[in-house]
Amino acid sequence: MTPVVGGARALTRDRLSHVDQTYLRLATYKAANATLIAAQAGIPLAQAWGGGLVASVDGMRFVVPSATVYARPNPKYFGRGRGATWLNMLNDQASGLGGMVVAGTPRDSLYVLDVLYDRDGGKRPEMIVTDTASYSDIVYGLLTLAGFSYAPQLADLPDQKLWRINPRADYGPLQQIARGRIALDKIERNWEDICRVIASIHAGAVRAHDVIRMLSRDGRPTPLGDAIAHYGRIPKTLHQIENDVLDESKPLAATLRKCITLGGQAGSADLRTWAARELRGYGPDDELPQYRVVGAPILVDGVTIRHRITAERISAGDLPDIVAEHVGEDVRLSSSIGGIEALIHEAESGDDHSLKLSLPGGAEIVILPTLPVSWEFTTMVKCRRCGASVTSSRGRRCGPVARSASRPPTAACTSPCSRSAGGQPANR
């Protein structure tokens, strides 16, 4: 045989064929990838990205021009041609833990467990992230039973209904929303078979995608598959609540309503009571949680004769005594969560992005400094006839700011000229 490149003995056609047939196979690829995964995990930058316990499973579609065992028609991805799917698992250290080639027609959810149990190396992931194409209630139940924390992206799922365990429980405003029911009796009746299925997958006795296909015939689950699906809806509800809490675009009110449903499912009266109070607000007799008490300065706006005061900070001690003992710089937020969200939205839409709240009884506090008080002043006036100085006293009832009288004060002159004049008043 002629050499492929120059005269190198190692690059002759028969030598390359021997290497291809002897060394390039699935087992050697997996061994080489395990070495790369271990080397990647030792890089400080990769360790800063994560600990290798979070993994994502997703499929990549490729058009296959030739006829192969995995080439299948799928107009959505391949048009008129045929293609296959490369289902790959990548951890949070940017290492490819493994993958497999599957036909381009079936859903990715059938093969997620197979990829997880057939990884090439690295740590066993604890949390699995997938897209909606890899989701089903049966897969949710199997992954949870296998010890994985499943976190699919549920944003575009057509079924987002809430599930309840007790059909006779009263969920108040959520009565119509919580229309799904988790049948615990189905789970209990099939529990032994559920454990056998999980043990068989874990031991490698059966492939997970064969089990999933067996549990769902013609799109409808078998009794065993239905029991696993009901089990999967319990962690699914928890994941929906966690996902809504972390999603800043979702209102907290919707998350709290799901917490009420979860409290009913779990039989937790404390969770239901807390979520209901957060939704409707806390009454005067309810104990207000510490996280609803926040610090805020007291600012005053006012007008004097010569000045205008705007946002002047004062302490509670500067307020009238009758008010100071009831007002401090701690604000108790007892309104509903919807009202608090409305206040936050109002503050964010303002120019200074600050929230201004009135003091408790603020209208009554404003009136207090203007209540009538008695005061008296004296002035010196001079008699217009004799020029003698006379002391005049005047008492009035007015507000805290003394206003000048519209006419000058008068007083009775006690000088001899005044007595001779019959005690007529003398002007200043």
Percent of the chain with pLDDT over 70: 70
Tell me how far apart the alpha carbons of residues 71 and 73 are, in angstroms, rounded to a whole number.
7
Question: What is the mean pLDDT of the segment spanning 305-321?
Answer: 74
Which whole-number Å values give the CA distances from 156 to 65, 159, 177, 220, 252, in the listed order?
A: 32, 9, 18, 22, 19
Any idea which of 89-103, 245-259, 307-321, 407-421 has the lowest mean pLDDT?
407-421
Q: Which residue has the tokens 């080397």?
A: 39
The pLDDT of residue 317 is 72
Which residue reads 């059938």 in tokens?
110
Q: Where are the domains of the chain?
A: 14-55+87-280, 291-369, 373-426
More confident: 364 or 407: 364
Q: What is the dihedral of CA 63, 69, 73, 76, to 10 degrees?
A: -50
- Does residue 82 sit in helix, strand or coil? strand
Residue 373 has pLDDT above 50, yes or no: no
- Region 259-288 average pLDDT: 77
Mean pLDDT of 323-329: 69
**Lowest mean pLDDT segment, chosen from 85-99, 125-139, 257-271:** 257-271
| Helices (H) then strands (E): counts for the chain | 16, 18
C-beta separation of 103 from 72 below 8 A = yes
The set of long-range contacts for 38-43, using a CB threshold of 8 Å and a minimum separation of 24, is 38/121, 38/122, 40/93, 40/94, 40/95, 41/93, 41/95, 41/122, 41/123
Distance (Å, whole) CA 423 – CA 88? 114
Q: What's the pLDDT at 154?
A: 62
Residue 338: alpha-carbon gap to chain centroid: 14
Mean pLDDT of 208-224: 85
CB neighbours of 202 closer than 8 A, spacing ≥ 6? 117, 146
Q: Which two tokens stand for residue 300?
A: 């005053």
CB 34 within 8 A of CB 121: yes
CA distance 121 to 119: 6
E strand intervals along 272-372: 293-295, 298-303, 308-314, 330-332
CA distance 213 to 205: 16
Interval 8-35 mean pLDDT:
85
- Strands 293-295, 96-103: pairing is unpaired
Average the pLDDT over 14-25 and give the result: 85
Res. 383 pLDDT band, cuts 50 70 90: low
Query: In this predicted model, what pLDDT tens digit does every residue of 37-88 receive, in sequence order?
Result: 999 999 999 999 999 999 999 888 888 888 888 888 888 888 888 888 888 9
Place of tokens 């007015």: 398
Separation CA 338–CA 70 (nearest Å): 53
Structural tokens at position 144: 């949870």
Nearest of 189, 207, 187 to residue 197 by alpha carbon:
207
| Nearest of 390, 378, 393, 379 to residue 418 by alpha carbon | 390
Averaged pLDDT score across all residues of the chain? 75
Confidence of residue 411 (pLDDT cuts 50, 70, 90): very low
